[in-house]
């Protein structure tokens, strides 16, 4: 069988599939279905310096080929994560990625410093959350702001640093290059697109936050395009995400330029998706006489 191992910024994952932040919580629920080693890694629920209650309900809505969410980073805070969730996660034989979000540079830097002294394997900077009214999103929308927050956090972060990029920008390539220049070890992309649904009977938005993040297979072609563009411009690894639902999607995203993948919305429909996707990738590699999944990355032949 072909080798599914991948290496991102010096960290080895047993397979390229990572549970996307906000969809796998801190892993416990999926641990009831199968060993969490089915994932190459888990990007934990976005955590903030202090606990957050999140946005008022309703905060999730179904859309054609996807969903909108505006959960608003509900989480128990970084100290609770370190004390109660991380020790359990480190026993699960999977790479642990701490996803952090904040309102200020100081928030991000403090969390990066705290987490650098723990057993997390990597830190993912969520600077692109589209459903939080204050903080987060303003750091991810320009080359200058992405570069500045990356540079600031890099000084405090001793772990491999992933910058999660927003698709809600005019030039994602320049933004990725800015993150790379200021010290990012990898980028993950794409976060959700900003979307909206309206109840035609009461003429109000379905989600109390008015807008939310659109995810699911509807965004997949956008994600493939952006990953492919960024892969032509940066040397650091790309963790591709956005609507990956099948093993064929996963292979396509790898060919576009991703070194590893995050899956999220598909898990709500099929919790066993990581198992099925890894099995499909392995079959594809064997059928095409490829010895390693790394042989797929960035092999797209553009016209």
Domain that includes residue 241, residue range: 6-54+72-196+214-295
Minimum mean pLDDT range among 46-60, 137-151, 166-180, 256-270? 137-151
Q: What is the pLDDT of residues 254-297, one digit of tens each?
A: 999 999 999 999 999 999 999 999 999 999 999 999 999 999 99
User: What pLDDT shows up at residue 140?
Assistant: 86
Is the residue at 85 inside a domain? yes
Write down the catalytic residue from 44, 129, 143, 228: 129
| 208 within some domain | no
Do 208 and 55 touch, CB atoms closer than 8 A? Answer: yes
Number of domains in the chain: 1
Q: Count of H helices and E strands in the chain?
A: 9, 16
Whether 106 is covered by a domain: the verdict is yes
Q: What is the pLDDT of residues 125-159, one digit of tens each?
A: 999 664 454 444 568 889 999 999 999 999 999 99
CATH number at residue 173: 3.20.20.70
User: For residue 300, is it within any domain?
Assistant: no
- Given a contact cutoff of 8 angstroms between Cβ atoms, the answer to whether 271 and 38 are in contact is no
The answer to whether residue 129 is catalytic is yes
Please report whether residue 65 resides in a domain. Answer: no
Domain-embedded: residue 268 = yes
Position 275 in a domain: yes
Question: CA nearest 15: which of 23, 2, 4?
Answer: 4
**Statement: residue 299 has pLDDT above 90:** yes
301 in any annotated domain = no
Q: pLDDT digits over 1-37, tens only? A: 899 999 999 999 999 999 999 999 999 999 999 999 9
């Amino acid at each position: 069988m072909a080798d599914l191992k991948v290496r991102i910024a010096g960290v080895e994952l047993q397979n390229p599939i990572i549970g996307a932040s906000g969809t796998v919580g801190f892993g416990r629920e999926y641990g009831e279905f199968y060993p969490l080693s089915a994932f190459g890694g888990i990007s934990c629920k976005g955590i903030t310096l202090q606990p957050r209650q999140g946005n008022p309900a309703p905060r999730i809505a179904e859309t054609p080929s996807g969903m909108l969410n505006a959960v608003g980073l509900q989480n128990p805070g970084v100290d609770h994560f370190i004390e109660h969730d991380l020790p359990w996660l480190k026993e699960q034989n999977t790479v642990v990625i701490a996803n952090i979000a904040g309102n200020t540079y100081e928030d991000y830097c403090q969390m990066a410093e705290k987490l650098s002294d723990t057993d997390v394997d990597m830190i993912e900077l969520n600077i692109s959350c589209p459903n939080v009214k204050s903080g987060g999103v303003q750091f991810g929308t320009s080359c200058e702001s992405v570069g500045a927050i990356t540079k600031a956090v890099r000084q405090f972060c001793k772990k491999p640093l992933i910058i999660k990029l927003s698709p809600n920008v005019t030039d994602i390539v320049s933004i990725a290059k800015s993150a790379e220049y200021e010290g990012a070890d990898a980028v993950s992309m794409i976060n959700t697109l900003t979307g909206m649904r309206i109840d035609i009977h009461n003429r109000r938005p379905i989600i109390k936050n008015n807008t939310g993040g659109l995810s699911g297979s509807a965004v997949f072609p956008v994600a493939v395009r952006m990953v492919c563009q960024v892969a032509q411009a940066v040397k650091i690894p790309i963790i591709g995400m956005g609507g990956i639902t099948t093993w064929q999607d996963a292979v396509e995203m790898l060919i576009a330029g991703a070194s590893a993948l995050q899956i999220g919305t598909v898990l709500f429909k099929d919790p066993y998706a990581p198992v099925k996707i890894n099995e499909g990738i392995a079959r594809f590699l064997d059928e095409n006489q490829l010895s390693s999944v790394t042989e797929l990355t960035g092999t797209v032949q553009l016209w």
